[in-house]
Amino acid sequence: MDTRIIKGAFALAAIAYTVQLFATGHWGSGIGMIFVSAIAVLAVLRSIRMIFVFFNLQQQKLDKAKKWIDRINPNHLWKRQQAYYFFLRGSTKMETNLNDAEKDLRNALKIGLKKDHDRGAVKLNLAAIASAKGRRKEGLLLLAEAKKLDTKGYLKNDIKQIEKAIKNPKQVFRSR
């Protein structure tokens, strides 16, 4: 059964109970239930496991991130979250299996990422993969697209690193 349905039903029940508490004059309990309802709604809109994956990747703990991402069923995610799932899964596979990583990153682009810098990060990772596989021209094209998408400069250092690696193929690099 899809967990989104269960979480949604729980969130609706929490909201209804909150309204009922306020309607009957139980203001203290109603205020407390607002927090419970907010957490329930957040759980419906966001995957808690995805949050753990983001956190572990940010902390550079790839083993823990891989464990969390393996626990996620992409069919139980909203469409936009599926794109981020494939982005994260591809990012964690970059060091071990370039073919699977490329497939997941292309899936993330196909489904659609919300932010430009996220699309830029995917294209940057794809450029690194293309360069590692000896497809230098494709890598340069993807790198140029990543530069265009990085309007806020989040990927500036990574772009320079990949650019050096593409120009000097013997140099070993690590992507984001």
Whether residue 51 is contained in a domain is answered as: no
pLDDT at residue number 3: 76
**How many CB atoms within 10 Å of residue 30?**
18
Whether residue 35 is contained in a domain is answered as: yes
CA pair distance 58, 40, nearest whole angstrom: 25
* Band (13; pLDDT cuts 50, 70, 90): very high
Contacts of 138 (CB under 8 A, 6+ apart): 127, 130
Query: In the predicted model, is pLDDT for residue 163 greater than 60?
Result: yes
Query: In the predicted model, is pLDDT for residue 34 greater than 70?
Result: yes
Query: In the predicted model, is pLDDT for residue 11 greater than 70?
Result: yes
Whether residue 169 is contained in a domain is answered as: no
Whether residue 110 is contained in a domain is answered as: no
CA pair distance 140, 155, nearest whole angstrom: 15
Lowest-pLDDT range, 26-30, 34-38, 72-76? 72-76
Whether residue 23 is contained in a domain is answered as: yes
As a whole-number percent, the residues of the chain with pLDDT over 70 amount to: 94
Residue 103 in tokens: 């497939």
* Band (171; pLDDT cuts 50, 70, 90): low
Whether residue 106 is contained in a domain is answered as: no
Q: How many domains does the chain have?
A: 1
18: three-class secondary structure by DSSP: helix
Nearest to 154 by CA among 100, 116, 111, 101: 116
pLDDT at residue number 79: 84
HSE toward the beta carbon, residue 87, CA cutoff 13 A: 27
Consecutive H or E run containing 111: helix 98-111
Whether residue 3 is contained in a domain is answered as: yes
* Band (1; pLDDT cuts 50, 70, 90): low
